[in-house]
Amino acid sequence: MFQSRVVGSILKRNKAIINSLTSNLKGTCSSRCFTPSSANAVARTSFYGFRSLPKGHHVPSFRNMSTVASVGTEKQGLKMLVTAGPRAQKMVGIWLFGSAAWVFSMVVLGGVTRLTRSGLSMTDWKFAGNLPPLSDEEWQQEFEKYKQSPEYKRVNKGMSIEEFKFIYWMEYAHRMWGRALGVMFALPFSYFLRKGYITMRLGLRLSALFALGAGQGLIGWWMVKSGLEEPASEYVEPRVSPYRLAAHLTSAFVIYSGLFWTALSVVMPEPPAESLAWVQGAAKLKRLAIPVSLIVGITAVSGAFVAGNDAGRAYNTFPKMGDVWVPDNIFELKPTIRNFFENTSMVQLDHRILATTTLISICGLWWSTKKLDIHPAIRTLVGATFGMAALQVTLGVSTLLSYVPVSLGTAHQAGALTLLTLMLLLNHTVRRPSMSLLKTLPEVTKTAW
């Protein structure tokens, strides 16, 4: 019974096989005759809409990245990013997910570096990096350089060399971890290109991400350099420019998003879809998920301005800001637009409003799924996203009330990227399937009784 169902499904999906079977049945029965065993062989070798012919028929090899494979994929309406078969697809997917996880760890390490005030401990920068101090004399030389910085003079005056070593190692680890990521990305990329696993479209996308990653080091130094300059007033604490910090963090989020989305596209060329009703439900959900994702992204960027202005150490009360809902000085800077990026009161108020809006929006997204006919996996994913949004708001409030301890501040930054990850996964899952898959789907999902 099962074999007959497999044969029926294959006959409906590929007219080429029908013609092949007809010609085989007209001839003498040989090893090319279509039998239940050959049906199982066809079923086992099928992959995302591409159907192999029965044994004995010529099929272009997947081992070589040929235009034949690409054209065959295009005809099926599915654009594969890796054309060298399932094994190559798995290898490239693991590499990309590993790269995305590495960028995630970079964001977390960067948060720790910022919260421990270690980012300004290294007063110079070289693109290829350099060895850390290895002798007491070298450590003393680095310490003397740091003593010339505004941060030492106004914040850390009297710091011991042992305390300096801690912040130096934090910044050094952050820089070298980024350089190690570049090597870890470039070597497999070169290998996959040489083997012919990667299509032109994927190669161009990954090249752009690699270039952006290389530029991230320059953006990081550009940010640090702003903190090594003398502040305009003697009463202002030295810190990096909030604009440059936001650019640095936003760039990291863009790189991570690009890697994660590309990895999903490699390992999951088609979204989960078992009926046209579920596809239609996913399309409705997508119209809501895109604007919600935009709100999540804007909220994350606003968090960078909170960090850049050290706004988390002001108004450590909730839900009110001190004794009021809205401080009186939110528009004290001129021109007015500066207040949204440089005014501590306004920056924190913005982040509070955006965080609340994010939570309400995701709650609405979750509530809307109750009335939609969608895939169970998508429903579960929306629920997980709502839970993560609630946790992220809880972490934010706890961080504020606790006067931004390193542990909670780091967890809050990691939570922002985790929430963004879930939104990326949701948007990738509700995208429209290829035409080849749509033609094979029933109107509704059959329920097994």
**And the tokens for 249?**
């963090």
Decide: residue 331, CB within 10 A, 0-12 exposed, 13-18 middle, 19+ buried: middle
Angle between helices 376-401 and 276-308 (to 10 degrees): 10
> Who's near 59: CB < 8 A, 6+ residues apart?
52, 53
pLDDT at 280: 86
Contact predicate 143/164, CB 8 Å: yes
Contact predicate 267/89, CB 8 Å: yes
Contact predicate 110/304, CB 8 Å: no
Contact predicate 107/414, CB 8 Å: yes
Task: Write out the DSSP string of 122-138.
Answer: -----TT--PPP-SHHH
Contact predicate 419/406, CB 8 Å: no
Residue 447 pLDDT level (bands cut at 50, 70, 90): low
State the sign of the Cα–Cα–Cα–Cα dihedral 356, 361, 364, 366: negative
pLDDT at 439: 78
Residues 221, 382: Cα–Cα separation, whole Å: 38
Q: Is the pLDDT of residue 443 over 90?
A: no
Q: Return the CA Rg of the chain.
A: 28
Q: Where are the domains of the chain?
A: 81-268, 269-441
**Shortest CA distance to 309 belongs to which of 265, 261, 355, 345?**
345
The per-residue pLDDT for range 286-305, each reduced to its tens digit, is 999 999 999 999 999 999 99
Output 63 or 113, whichever has higher pLDDT: 113
Q: What are phi and psi of 320, to 5 degrees?
A: -80, 160
**Amino acid letter for position 268:** M
Q: Is the pLDDT of residue 15 over 50?
A: no
Residues 431, 130: Cα–Cα separation, whole Å: 45
Q: Is the pLDDT of residue 118 over 50?
A: yes
pLDDT at 366: 95
* 86: preceding bond cis by omega (within 30 degrees): no
Contact predicate 288/386, CB 8 Å: no
Residues 1, 36: Cα–Cα separation, whole Å: 11
Instruction: Looking at mean pLDDT, say which of 11-20, 210-219, 350-359 comes out highest.
Output: 350-359
pLDDT at 438: 75
Residues 304, 298: Cα–Cα separation, whole Å: 10
Q: Which of 18-22, 173-177, 324-328 is least confident? A: 18-22
**Shortest CA distance to 424 belongs to which of 290, 287, 300?**
290
Global pTM reads 0.79
Question: What fold is seen in the domain 269-441?
Answer: A middle domain of Talin 1 (1.20.1420)
Q: What are phi and psi of 50, to 5 degrees?
A: -90, 125
pLDDT at 46: 36
Residues 384, 345: Cα–Cα separation, whole Å: 32
Residues 240, 196: Cα–Cα separation, whole Å: 44
Percent of the chain with pLDDT over 70: 80
Decide: residue 121, CB within 10 A, 0-12 exposed, 13-18 middle, 19+ buried: buried
Neighbour count for residue 233 (Cβ, 10 Å)? 7
pLDDT at 259: 96
Q: Which residues pair with 82 in a beta bridge?
A: 198
Q: Is the pLDDT of residue 139 over 60?
A: yes
